């Protein structure tokens, strides 16, 4: 995510991207890549076990279409690349082998965003969307360092996280401000106590260097890559560090690499407001089919604002003894705006909460926070906070945050306070941040297809052109999708899918400036 969102709210934006740092200069793909004097590791692929608790739990991935199984492996990477012969950490990987090995191009490595999302669980859950790409690629993903099974960052226990995610994230007075800042400090202290030795090393620059180790271990001369949301930022940093190692690459739902954390967070605030406007407009156009009160976009949004204010004063019944708070409700609303397919749940959830039943919005909030139905949490929130805070140099204190709030409120009457207070997120973090924004310039890289969606709430559309420009002339190739949601390829648009598949499967680069549909 392009924000220093409060760790207690990071899972709200878990599918989005983060500003990342760069330690050092770009290289030619060999310097610092791990190739010098280092043999590629041999990966021992075996059938995949059930996901770990840190990855979100569940059952082992289903058999692949047409037969075959998902395979998993571990590989070692240096904890600290400044000490390549020092302590190592394990990365967890997963793959589905290509259906047509005779025409196999290589491996296609995915990062689905977060930061903090598990690729080991994410790839099987989304694999149907990428099945055509498996004709010529092994589909591969991994848990980045600090995530899931890859030495996942741990902070608070499940009971404490329930309280943490329920607390008021938009304080109205000094007492509530004190509660919020103390909660952030307690959370950060727990992260340091439980994962302190890893916190300095979980940043995106190290993850990009890990990607090159993964490329080598897979036996590929070039990294073929599909990055979504934060995955576009990770891919951009990789391209900067290893431009000559970039193969065919696609960035979808693209982060603006030119923004600092406050600018990025403000952009997201506008993006989610735009998505809510579009939802409300659709509701109005459906007339009596829409069950929300109001005959205009403003009336529907006033209803949402009023509901959130009531929940701030008096939460309603949620799940078991847990109530739907204002924070949880806002979280749940944000979750539904990632995809137009979820708008039906937003309508139902708002209606239910207005009637005193917060179960649906709380369930949506839980899914974004990484809370499982049994009350356990994945480590997505902890990893998200750790990666954000080591990447992002900004540290907003209470007064600095409060001076930013008017801009956020002007950007969105619904999400302004929620996003604005999120600037406090790294204020108590025990590790210094490294940069204001990343360098993704990649002269000499192969073309990278950069896809922006006009209605994307989490990585607003303007970021795609900024990414393409920063990658450099002849590298960034921009494609626009006129539609809703966060991510275009798996949204099912045939025009987008044809363009992506023509490049990844046949090497045909679309014209820069292509518009779909």
78's tokens? 């240096």
State the catalytic residue, choosing from 212, 354, 456, 493. Answer: 456
246's tokens? 């970039």
Bridge partners (DSSP) listed for residue 141: 94, 110
Residue entry with tokens 């191009």: 105
State the catalytic residue, choosing from 33, 195, 229, 427. Answer: 229
Do residues 198 and 150 touch, judged by C-beta distance below 8 A?
no
- Identify the CA nearest to 212 among candidates 107, 282, 306, 135: 107
State the catalytic residue, choosing from 224, 240, 328, 486. Answer: 486
CA distance 210 to 333: 35
Q: Give a three-class secondary structure readout of 226-295.
A: EEECHHHHHHHHHHHHCHHHEEEEEEECCCCCCCCHHHHHHHHHHHHHHHHHHHHHHHHHCHHHCCCCCC
Helical packing angle, 204-218 and 230-241, nearest 10°: 70
For 3, residues 6+ apart whose C-beta sits below 8 A from its C-beta are 13, 18, 261, 262, 264, 265, 268, 388, 419, 422, 423, 425
How many beta carbons lie within 10 A of that of residue 292, not counting itself?
A: 19
Q: What is the DSSP letter of 220?
A: -
For 141, residues 6+ apart whose C-beta sits below 8 A from its C-beta are 93, 94, 95, 109, 110, 111, 112, 119, 120, 122, 123
CA distance 180 to 427: 11
Helix-strand-coil split of the chain, %, nearest 5 = 45, 15, 40
Question: Residue 436, CB half-sphere, CA atoms under 13 Å: how many?
Answer: 6
Residue entry with tokens 């012969």: 85
> Residue 9: is the preceding peptide bond cis (ω within 30°)?
no
Q: What is the DSSP letter of 491?
A: G
Do residues 343 and 310 touch, judged by C-beta distance below 8 A?
no
Do residues 230 and 257 touch, judged by C-beta distance below 8 A?
no
456 an active-site residue?
Answer: yes
Strands 71-78, 88-96: pairing is: antiparallel
328 an active-site residue?
Answer: no
229 an active-site residue?
Answer: yes
Active-site annotation, residues: 229, 456, 486
């Amino acid at each position: 995510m392009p924000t220093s969102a409060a760790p207690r709210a990071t899972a709200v934006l878990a599918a989005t991207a983060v500003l990342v740092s760069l330690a050092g200069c770009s290289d030619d793909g060999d310097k610092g890549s791990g190739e010098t004097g280092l043999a590629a590791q041999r990966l021992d692929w075996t059938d995949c076990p059930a996901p770990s608790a840190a990855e979100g739990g569940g059952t082992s991935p289903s058999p692949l279409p047409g037969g075959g199984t998902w395979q998993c492996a571990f590989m070692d990477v240096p904890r600290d690349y400044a000490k390549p012969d020092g302590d190592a950490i394990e990365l967890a990987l997963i793959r589905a082998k290509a259906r047509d090995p005779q025409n196999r191009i290589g491996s296609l490595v995915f990062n689905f965003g977060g930061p903090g999302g598990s690729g080991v669980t994410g790839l099987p859950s989304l694999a149907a969307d990428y099945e055509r790409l498996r004709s010529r690629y092994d589909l591969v993903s991994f848990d980045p360092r600090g995530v899931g099974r890859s030495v996942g960052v741990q902070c608070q226990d499940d009971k404490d996280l329930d309280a943490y995610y329920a607390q008021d994230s938009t304080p109205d007075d000094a007492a509530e401000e004190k509660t919020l800042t103390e909660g952030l400090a307690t959370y950060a202290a727990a992260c340091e106590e439980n994962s302190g030795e890893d916190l300095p090393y979980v940043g995106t620059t190290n993850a990009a260097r890990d990607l090159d180790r993964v490329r080598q271990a897979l036996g590929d001369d070039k990294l073929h890559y599909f990055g979504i949301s934060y995955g576009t930022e990770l891919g951009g940093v990789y391209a900067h560090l290893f431009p000559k190692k970039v193969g065919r690459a696609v960035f979808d739902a693209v982060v603006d690499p030119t923004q600092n954390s406050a600018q990025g967070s403000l952009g997201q605030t506008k993006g989610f407001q735009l998505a809510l406007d579009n939802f409300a407009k659709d509701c109005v156009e459906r007339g009596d089919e829409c069950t929300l009160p109001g005959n205009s976009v403003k009336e529907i949004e006033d209803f949402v604002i009023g509901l959130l204010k009531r929940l701030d004063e008096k939460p309603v019944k949620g799940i078991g003894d847990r109530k739907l708070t204002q924070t949880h409700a806002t979280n749940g609303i944000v979750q539904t705006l990632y995809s137009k397919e979820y708008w039906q749940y937003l309508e139902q959830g708002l209606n239910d909460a207005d009637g005193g039943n917060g179960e649906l919005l709380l369930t949506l909030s839980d899914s974004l926070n990484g809370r499982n139905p049994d009350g356990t949490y994945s480590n997505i929130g902890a990893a998200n906070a750790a990666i954000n805070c080591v990447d992002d140099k900004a540290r907003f204190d209470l007064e600095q945050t409060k001076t930013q709030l008017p801009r956020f409120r002007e950007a969105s009457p619904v999400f302004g306070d929620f996003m604005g207070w999120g600037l406090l997120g790294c204020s108590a973090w025990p590790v210094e941040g490294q940069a204001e924004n990343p360098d993704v310039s990649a002269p000499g890289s192969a073309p990278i297809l950069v896809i922006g969606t006009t209605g994307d709430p989490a990585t607003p559309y303007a970021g795609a052109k900024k990414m393409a420009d920063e990658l450099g002339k002849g590298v960034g190739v921009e494609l626009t999708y006129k539609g809703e949601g966060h991510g275009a390829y798996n949204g099912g648009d045939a025009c987008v899918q044809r363009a992506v598949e023509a490049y990844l499967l046949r090497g045909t680069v679309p014209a820069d400036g292509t518009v779909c549909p």
